[in-house]
Amino acid sequence: MYIIGLLMLLHVGLQGVQCVAFYTEKPSYIESCRIYEPEFTKCSTRSIQAFMNQLVKGVPELEESFGPIDPMRQDQLVFKQDNSDVATISANLTNMLISGFGKMVIKESKVSKKDFSWLTKIFLPKMRMDGHYKMLGRILLVPLQGSGKIVMEIDDLDILMSTKTRLYEKGGYTFYNVTSVKVKLEVGKVRTRMDNLFNGHSKEVEQSTNQFFNDNWKDVFEALRPLVDETVERTLLDLLHKTFSLFPASFFVEDIPTSLALYGRKSHMIT
């Protein structure tokens, strides 16, 4: 059944019958590029920027499965680090909101001709993470034990995102299955605040500790870098996986091969 350029498929699996919707007509806000043409990277960069701008404005089908792009939500993250000279941390983050992707700049969007993985350079003027933490450990020799609200603000954030994909077919169209996202972050400045750092025993010590962390923000960020990396990676993986199950890959790369042509056998999405 075709509805406003969406195709509804019935998918029968172990969990019963599911309704799978995806676009069959390319929206006007997507620019198609040809990967074997010399100016492909410029075209792809321009195309992905315009596409992300539209996602920020809102795509109803994506908002139903993922929610808004700014802020994005990450329900829970459990983190442990015990192999660092600057920190030994066991932390549980919940109800995380990641703000700032509404003003993202796509500096470069490369697609591999070999396996159609992506290498994307993204710039955010500011990213902010709000949530609740429960933490035990130490940062810069400061012992920490507490739970409460955490806020981290990052200025001038450069993200180098490596994305692995696997092509597959659905309803006669070739799609990206986004299987992994890894990021490398470079930051301009970081400000952090953790409330109730010492379970409320001393607000003065809590305030001075937060000030110490902000005075030494480079070292503190290196201590928390794995936690920030994983938060960004998990959130972007969820976003990209759901986004590219809605939009065929050929909308973006016009001459993309089928999975049969690329792998020598036809691939299917594994859910």
For residue 176, tell me if it sits in a domain: yes
Q: Which residues contact residue 172 at a Cβ distance below 8 angstroms, ignoring those fewer than 6 apart?
A: none
CB 116 within 8 A of CB 176: yes
Segments forming the whole domain that contains residue 196: 42-264
User: What is the number of alpha carbons within 13 Å of residue 99 lying toward its C-beta?
Assistant: 11
Structural element, H or E, at residue 229? helix 217-243
Total domains present in the chain: 1
Q: Which residues contact residue 197 at a Cβ distance below 8 angstroms, ignoring those fewer than 6 apart?
A: 144, 146, 148, 205, 206, 209, 210
CA angle, residues 256, 67, 58, in degrees to nearest 5? 65
Which structure tokens are listed for 183? 């990021």
For residue 171, tell me if it sits in a domain: yes
**Which CATH number does the domain housing residue 148 bear?**
3.15.10.30
* The pLDDT of residue 1: 28
User: What is the number of alpha carbons within 13 Å of residue 51 lying toward its C-beta?
Assistant: 23
* The pLDDT of residue 184: 97
* The pLDDT of residue 149: 95
Q: Which pLDDT tens digits describe the chain residue by residue (271 residues)?
A: 233 455 555 444 444 434 458 999 999 999 999 999 999 999 999 999 999 999 999 999 999 999 999 999 988 888 887 766 777 888 889 999 999 999 999 999 999 999 999 999 999 999 999 999 998 988 888 888 889 999 999 999 999 999 999 999 999 999 999 999 999 999 999 999 999 988 777 889 889 999 999 999 999 998 888 889 999 999 999 999 999 999 999 999 999 999 999 998 877 665 4
Q: What's the CA gap between 234 and 242, in Å, rounded? A: 12
For residue 172, tell me if it sits in a domain: yes
* The pLDDT of residue 7: 58
For residue 74, tell me if it sits in a domain: yes
For residue 6, tell me if it sits in a domain: no
For residue 34, tell me if it sits in a domain: no
* Measured torsion, CA atoms of residues 61, 244, 54, 161, in degrees rounded to the nearest 10: 140
For residue 17, tell me if it sits in a domain: no
For residue 12, tell me if it sits in a domain: no
* The pLDDT of residue 3: 37
